[in-house]
Structure 1
Amino acid sequence: MPLAQTNTVDTPTEGDLIARAQALIPVLKERSKSCESLRSVPQETIDDFRAAGFFKIVQPTEYGGYGMSPLTLYRVLHEVGRGCMSSCWVLMVLALHSYEVYMMGKASCDAVWGDDQDALVASSYAPLGQMEKVDGGYKLNGCWRFCSGIDHAQHVVVGGMVQIPGHDRPDYRVCMVPASEYTIDPDSWQTFGLAGTGSKDIQITDVFVPEDHSHSLIEAHLMLGQDKLPKHYRYPFWVAFGFCVASAVIGGTRGGLDELVEQMGARVGSFDMGSGRAPATQDPFVRARLGKATVLVRGAIARLEKVVFEMTDFIERGEAIPVPDRMHYMAEAAQCGKDCEDAVMLLYKATGARGIMLDNHMQAVLRNVLAGTNHISMHVEGMAINLGSMLLGAEDVSPIC
């Protein structure tokens, strides 16, 4: 088994990474239409992300990464999404899985990065295929959907419900599979939003996955054994994941704020009210909608950062993050998505009739944000019901929502 390699790269600061993301915004926006028509992030964008170091943000230092906090990744996503939300979504998925691979342990890290420290991992968590416990690991069969960024990955982690002998309830696990063991359905991603993510179906047939290339998502969320990991890897996985999704949505919505300011700066009203056609920037409804949307987006960012700071305080004190707090945090992540969904509707309505035109970028922003907030982690009602049930002392509560 390959040994971990020494990190010989210079580690940028968080400010460096954010500046690189901001510099890419106009490039990504220019490519956004081709990204959507390709139904996959262009390779040149993946190359730009790699050159900027984005895939290494939470990758462990022992394997050539920067070993930074998830908050740094969130802040980069807030910028990248302003240019192209589909590209941001794929960056979110491929970058965050470095965090998960490290949680799986050395065998998984060696399998991914032992020979190639630039290797990437995609995912399909929904337990759609069959996962069976066998001697030494798991046997996989079936189709897994929504594999964002699969065209650019060397491995994929797939989810499944597994009945473990001696346990009353099945475990919710993921298994890591190399690209040589699955096939991609190239025409399976036909969507009205986030089309550029290329979240295609994969087929897996009779593939064996060793035990040490797998982990329990339930244990990862409950933080079992995470006290042995470096501090940046002790955030509950589902919370870290939920806020990563929220960050992509925030980035896409910030792109909508940019778009409305740009469009209204060059636009005049349709009607002459006797003193000439007034600039759209003087329209009180445009002003109000932009102002309200801005407050919603800033509120979502503030909520995200507050939660990360709260979790960091627990971690710095060497304490486990209580399960009730984690349930609050899952609901908070979903609320970030809901606030952005409300914001993008305000922005879209401010464009008027022009907003329905396919060449108006705002309709793409709207479609992508709506698609992103349909992700299960953004299910604000479900998370709120689970949180409210816990607060009322109900027994039918899921600790991982």
Structure 2
Amino acid sequence: MTSTRTEPGHVRAPETGLAAEEAVARARAIASGLVERQAETEQRTYYAPDVHDQLVNAGLYRLLVPRRYGGYELGADTFARVCTALARGCPSTGWMYLFGAAHALVVGTLFEERAQRELFATGDFICPATVAPAGSATRVDGGWVVNGTWRYCSGSPYATHFLGHTMVHRDGDPEPTPLMFVLPRESWRLEDDWGGQLGLRGSGSHGITAVEAHVPDHLTRTGLLPQTDPTKGTPGRALHTNPEYGGGPLSFMLLELGILAVGMAQGALDAYDELMRARTTSFWPIVPRTEDPDYQFRYGEAAGMIAAAEAAVLDAVRQWRDLSARGPAAITRERELRLALIGRETVRLCWRAVESQLFPTAGSSSVRAGERVERVWRDMSMLHSHAGLGTFLSSMANRELAQAHFFADQA
């Protein structure tokens, strides 16, 4: 990996007035060229510089950036469809793009005007984030000095910023408390520690290291991102006319996993479609797979699961948007968890379609290393190791939802 290409490319700023449907169409056009480049993306460990430039020129890094700071502010539903389209062409590219671009919504929601004006000044905003506290921070006049390494920072190779967490001791408090902070690109270095995993090898999920990095107070917040309580209002709700900048960070962050799973599964179904058209059955009578009742059943079963998953997650995004519009008090922890769990069920449907219908019947030659079905299977297997899915949504969220439902009045 060369240091010159891990920084944002110098390309023209996108035109003004991008419409939602045009943004999705551009994502689909880019995705069509990603399928044949998945192997090189895995080898590089992140998508190519020219793909990054395509995303810049298409305006896709500005979808969630507020209009007042040069963004398109096209909303969560448009962003979801763009991410699904990219993941359909290349799961690693979709993953890397989403987790780089999504946190414009977090910054636009949680930070005050001074911070937003400064952070969004770069135009294209690419900000990987981690929620597990790591490293350390020392209090200095007007801010903090941060040191440490944060792993699994998906979207980091072309990032303009990084959002992380650490634990700090504040004056008079014997117990440490979480500190959320944002660092610009010049304040940290990218580690060469990604690519040997089972899947998502091209997702740019590298570690980030900060050494004596100064972060001013206005680029910090107390608390952990997943524990943010939007019911009292947010700086973004007051600053922007769009209520999505007052929405629930936890639920949208976990719906993102379902958004990506749908795109991955759609890509596997595309590959299975091609195999059905190109190959015959293995047992008598030897006929094209498209004419075989068993292959027809498998295709239809998987297609139905994936379509149901897409409908579920897109409706959950709509519910998230509508809940944001109802006002801060409507965004309770219970409602956030219910939406987040739709993301979990979306992943489960997509995984069942790939793991139980497509992968076993695609044929051994179609699941060799580097084949599209094999890659999607690996990438979706890797998705299950994400702590948000494998730990929080699989067990903790169930209990927390029940507690919020039955004991909310006692809080």
Q: Report Cα offsets for 1:95-118 as digits up to 9, x if no partner.
A: 11211222312333233332x312
1:282 and 2:291 matched: yes
Q: Report Cα offsets for 1:24-68 as digits up to 9, x if no partner.
A: 222011221110111111111111111221111111111211112
* Alpha-carbon distance change, 332 to 119 in structure 1, aligned in 2, over 3 angstroms: closer
- The residue number in structure 1 matching 2:117 is 110
1:153 & 1:270 partners in 2: Cα distance?
48
Matches within 5 A, 1:143-222: 143-165=149-171, 171-215=177-221, 216-218=223-225, 221-222=228-229
How far does residue 329 in structure 1 lie from its aligned partner after superposition? 1.5
- The residue number in structure 1 matching 2:59 is 53
- The residue number in structure 1 matching 2:313 is 304
* Alpha-carbon distance change, 294 to 131 in structure 1, aligned in 2, over 3 angstroms: farther
1:370 and 2:381 matched: yes
1:333 and 2:346 matched: no
Q: Secondary structure at the match of 2:144?
A: strand
1:8 & 1:359 partners in 2: Cα distance?
34
1:93 to 75, 95, 99: 99
The answer on whether the counterparts of 1:250 and 1:300 sit within 8 Å (CA) in structure 2 is yes
How far does residue 202 in structure 1 lie from its aligned partner after superposition? 1.9
- The residue number in structure 1 matching 2:3 is none
Residue identity matched to 1:337: V
Q: Percent identity?
A: 25
- The residue number in structure 1 matching 2:24 is 18
- The residue number in structure 2 matching 1:3 is none
Q: Secondary structure at the match of 1:123?
A: coil
- The residue number in structure 2 matching 1:324 is 334
* Alpha-carbon distance change, 144 to 289 in structure 1, aligned in 2, over 3 angstroms: same
* Alpha-carbon distance change, 169 to 61 in structure 1, aligned in 2, over 3 angstroms: farther
1:244 and 2:252 matched: no
1:257 to 269, 276, 289: 269
Residue identity matched to 1:248: L
How far does residue 145 in structure 1 lie from its aligned partner after superposition? 0.2
2:20 & 2:140 partners in 1: Cα distance?
44
2:224 & 2:264 partners in 1: Cα distance?
28
* Alpha-carbon distance change, 66 to 220 in structure 1, aligned in 2, over 3 angstroms: farther
The answer on whether the counterparts of 1:97 and 1:122 sit within 8 Å (CA) in structure 2 is yes
2:250 & 2:58 partners in 1: Cα distance?
26
1:206 & 1:353 partners in 2: Cα distance?
52
- The residue number in structure 1 matching 2:89 is 83
Q: Report Cα offsets for 1:240-299 as digits up to 9, x if no partner.
A: 21122321221111111111111111010123x2x5x11122333332332222222222
What RMSD, in angstroms, separates the aligned Cα atoms of the two structures? 2.6
Q: Secondary structure at the match of 2:210?
A: strand
Residue identity matched to 2:401: L
- The residue number in structure 2 matching 1:234 is 246
TM-score after normalising by structure 2: 0.86
Q: Report Cα offsets for 1:343-368 as digits up to 9, x if no partner.
A: 22122112132233124211001111
- The residue number in structure 1 matching 2:401 is 387
How far does residue 187 in structure 1 lie from its aligned partner after superposition? 3.6
Q: Which runs of 5+ in 1 are unaligned?
A: 1-6
The answer on whether the counterparts of 2:32 and 2:89 sit within 8 Å (CA) in structure 1 is yes
